[in-house]
Amino acid sequence: MDKVRRQAVATKRTFTPRELCEFNGKDESTPVYLAIRGIVYDVSKSRHMYGPQGPYCNFAGRDASRGLALSAFDESVLTDLDAPIDPLEELENCFGRMATARAVNDKRRQVFKHALEKPYTTVWPSSSTETQTEILNDLCVALHPLSSYFAHTRRVSKAQHRRTRRRTSKNNTNPTSISTAHDQLSDPELKGKKMLDFVCIGINSTTRALERQAQRSTLHANDLALVIVCKGDVEPQLVAHFPGLAHAARSAKNDSVRREDKLRLVGVAAGAEQRLAQAVGQHRVSVLGIRAGHAELDVIVEKAQSGCSVPSVPWIGIQRGDPVFHPVCVRELQTSAPIISKKQIPAKASENDGKRKLEPTSRPGKKAK
């Protein structure tokens, strides 16, 4: 349209549709006219576009408003010469709603978004670096039988796989001899199997154990006495729940039982995950839970009780004494958001679609045959 307006020269004459049709470019001696929204334009300088051989030849000498609006160039979008001028009402309504929807979407409001996940800062139980290193070293030595037991289970699993393959083969001799050779446990392997009852390995299993512990008001044999978290080797959000969960496990007990609760939470530095994994014989050990009742592990638990503070989250559980104000950590970012979401705009703009449907081939005012 801008290109046509630069080349066109507006006339000062009033045309009827039939009078305008005479200027369709077929006669080289006459100019080429077309009408857009009631205004006639001279496009003679673009005769190669609007002439008989041009791509817009159907618009020459006719009202081209509907065709240009719909980007349709066939004769079906042209109004009959004897019909009233195309009012373009449904086009104006349609494009008017679209413009309104865009204008509404451009309007934005000021909002504030939280930059921190939670308003309270959870402090991990304190312990010295020497205490953490000593506990980690003792654990790597005490948990070594677990490595032997897990290596044995892997050998048994491979033997069972070979046994299954031999049963399906034609040369099946005596598969029971394989089972007897691999099911026998050595002393370190047997020691590791018994130790497994006092150890909880992994983030998920330790979390579930603490959740069950927080639901009991009395001491239980399966209660964890020590939780080791490799804070320096894992993402903080994966282990951020352990201080609150450990405190909840202690606060669920009554006062007399809480004095006997030995639960401690120790967060160790980077490098501990690999050392624990080698000691246990696993690919990765991010969190380790220890239960009381094992002679060698109880020595480590007592060392943690004497050198590590009790896990405490002040705003969880019932507090004794005078109330204490705990400052919150709140940080918000100022930004903007649409007043109406984009999902609501199409539904609002299509409320009146059933009253009159827009069709590119419709010709308002044409008489039905």
Q: What is the pLDDT of residue 273?
A: 94
In this structure, of 132-136, 255-259, 362-366, the range with the lowest mean pLDDT score is: 362-366
Averaged pLDDT, 333-343: 70
Higher pLDDT, 135 or 161: 135
Phi, psi of 40 (to 5 degrees): -95, 130
Q: What is the pLDDT of residue 347?
A: 47
| Burial of 255: CB neighbours in 10 Å, binned 0-12, 13-18, 19+ | exposed
The whole-angstrom separation of Cα 49 and Cα 57 is 7
- Over 70: is that where the pLDDT of 258 sits? no
What is the pLDDT of the chain when averaged over all its residues? Answer: 77
Q: What is the pLDDT of residue 285?
A: 93
DSSP letter for each residue of 8-53? -EE-S----HHHHHT-BSSSTTS-BEEEETTEEEE-GGGHHHHSTT
- Over 70: is that where the pLDDT of 155 sits? yes
- Nearest Cα to Cα of residue 224 among 135, 144, 287, 275: 287
Averaged pLDDT, 140-159: 88
- Over 50: is that where the pLDDT of 152 sits? yes
Higher pLDDT, 329 or 267: 267
Q: Amino acid letter at 75? A: E
Q: What is the pLDDT of residue 90?
A: 72
User: Could you tell me if 79 and 363 are in contact, meaning their C-beta atoms sit under 8 angstroms apart?
Assistant: yes
Tens of pLDDT, residues 42-70:
888 888 888 888 888 888 888 888 887 77
- Over 80: is that where the pLDDT of 227 sits? yes
